[in-house]
Amino acid sequence: MVASSPSPLIGLFAKQDTTVFRTGVLAEIQKKTWKEVQPQSAANGNEVVYLVYPFRRIEAMNAETVDGILRAQVREFGARVTPEDPEYPKVAITNTLLVEEFKSFATTIMILEPERDYASKYTLPEDINIIPYLCVKVIMQTFNNDFEGILQEMLQIPGLYNQQIHAIAFLKKTRVSMKHQSEIYRRYRRKKEEVQKKVVRNVMLQVMYQMIGKDESSKFIDKFNTKLQTLNVPDNVKSVIAEELERLKYIKSFELHTVKTYLEQICSLPWGITSLESYNVQEALKILDEDHYGLDDVKNQVLEAIATMSIKGQMIGKIWCLVGPPGTGKTSFAKSIARALGRKYVRVSVGGLNLTTELKGHRRTYVGAMPGKIIQSLKQVGTQNPVVLIDEIDKMGTGDAQATMLEILDPEQNSAFVDDYLDVPFDLSKVFFILTANDVSHLSAPHLDRLEIININGYLTEEKREIFDRFLVPQAM
């Protein structure tokens, strides 16, 4: 839009997309030149370049398009404040605050970005405080190239004082934002350097492990092949071990530990290793009497079962469950039964247990996975036919844990028990399971169907005195 004036003036209005802003500047045309451009950029192959000096804000009114040209009347927008105006003292004070805020901004940006030359760009003239209007103008023109749209935003604010307040707020906000961005970038660079160092270190370690791991894998494979010769491992388990040993030749270094741990666990189980059992009734009675006073009814039940075992040559009947109040000797009696049978003894507490993984282990996909309690107990005693005491069965949680316990105790299923960690069948049919409980009413019907309840009641006062005289006093002497 060209202002209707005989002087070489021009009205300049910014345009965003298809919208022309109503507020612009009145500028004096100081120079006019022609610039050669590509033919498609201008009809005659040249475009006009004006050198202008803006000196006043104007506002367009009654704009309309005539013959394809947008025309409008203009008027001055936002009168200047002179020293004679009543609000000049307020403007002068605000102007001082604006200059100080600009200097703080310039100091901040030069510290945050020292690699860029901001000294000349963000340095104000010494007499900038004298003319408040020029101060706002100089500061906003300084920012126009770095912060798109700020000059147009300032042009649209009426009143010099309002412009000053807006400029101060803009400087403060921009300064804080730049500090935040600088801190974010600083942390990003530090994190990037840490990641790069870690990647380089990991690559170096992988190369080192690859150089060393081949020798370690070969020694490990030879060690396990030798150990397999001494184990009575089923053929299907041998094939699994052979596959894992073959993997050691090709897997990456960080997987070596996982495979080695698995092979060590599977080869440390008592495959085919059993204790020499004893079904001697007289010897069993002698051991039971040595360890416990009284409990004649309980001992008779145990001796009858041992006599039957001596005839059949193996365990028969239901699983024993010792039931009684706390402190009546259920656990110690189970240990005496193990002595009487000539078997090793191990205790597995299931009180409060709710998770199946406690009994059957975690799958190897989990970090730090290990076999469950049952397999760990057999590894601990080193035989395939120990007496395993399942302690406090009545306090075990309901749900999947109880279903897993049924699988462990059922002789029809436990001959091929599969721990989730080992993922190969292991024979539990030779294990002599004994359970203890305080109250069988908490057990499920499927459990009770598989159990033979042996009640162990508390001792009478006379029996306690006899125990004190015959057992406790000699031990204390």
How far apart (Å, rounded) are the C-alpha atoms in residues 443 and 356? Answer: 17
Query: At a CB cut-off of 8 Å and minimum separation 6, what does 473 contact?
Result: none
The 8-class DSSP code of residue 460 comes to P
Q: Are strands 23-36 and 9-12 parallel, antiparallel or unpaired?
A: antiparallel
Is 323 strand, coil or helix?
strand
One digit per residue, the tens of pLDDT, for the chain of length 477 reads 444 445 588 888 888 777 788 888 888 888 878 776 555 544 555 677 878 877 778 888 887 777 777 778 888 777 677 677 787 788 888 888 888 888 888 787 777 776 666 656 666 666 555 566 667 767 766 665 556 567 777 777 787 788 888 888 888 888 888 888 878 888 888 888 888 888 888 787 767 666 655 556 677 777 777 777 777 888 888 888 888 877 777 666 567 778 888 888 888 888 888 888 888 888 888 888 887 777 778 888 888 888 888 777 666 667 888 888 888 888 888 888 888 888 899 999 888 888 888 888 888 888 778 898 999 999 999 898 899 999 888 888 777 788 888 888 888 888 888 888 888 899 888 888 999 988 888 888 888 888 888 888 777 777 777 777 776 777 776
Provide the pLDDT for residue 345. 92
How far apart (Å, rounded) are the C-alpha atoms in residues 406 and 451? Answer: 11
How far apart (Å, rounded) are the C-alpha atoms in residues 203 and 199? Answer: 6
Q: Per the structure block, which two tokens stand in for 79?
A: 């009168």
Provide the pLDDT for residue 142. 67
Provide the pLDDT for residue 247. 77
Which residue do the tokens 């050669």 mark? 36
CA nearest neighbour of 258 among 266, 391, 458:
266
How far apart (Å, rounded) are the C-alpha atoms in residues 432 and 387? Answer: 5
Provide the pLDDT for residue 42. 47
Q: What is the tens place of the pLDDT at every residue in 370-417?
A: 898 999 999 999 898 899 999 888 888 777 788 888 888 888 888 888
Is the Cα torsion angle 259, 261, 262, 267 positive or negative in sign?
Answer: positive
CA nearest neighbour of 339 among 404, 386, 300:
386
Provide the pLDDT for residue 3. 44
Q: For the chain, how far is it from start to end, CA to CA, in angstroms?
A: 119
Q: Please report, for the chain, the start and end positions of each structural domain, with discontinuous segments joined by +.
A: 23-76, 87-188, 216-268, 281-476
Which residue do the tokens 């963000």 mark? 122
Q: What is the DSSP string of 4-49?
A: S-SSSEEEE--EETTEEPSEEEEEEEEEEEEEE--GGGSTTSEEEE
CA nearest neighbour of 329 among 419, 413, 455, 449:
455
Question: How many CB atoms are closer than 10 A to CB 172?
Answer: 13
CA nearest neighbour of 333 among 304, 305, 293:
293
**Helix intervals (H) in 296-372:** 296-312, 330-341, 356-360
| Gyration radius of the chain over CA positions | 47
Asked: is 281-476 a CATH 3.40.50.300 domain? The reply is: yes
**Helix intervals (H) in 38-129:** 88-112
Is 89 strand, coil or helix?
helix
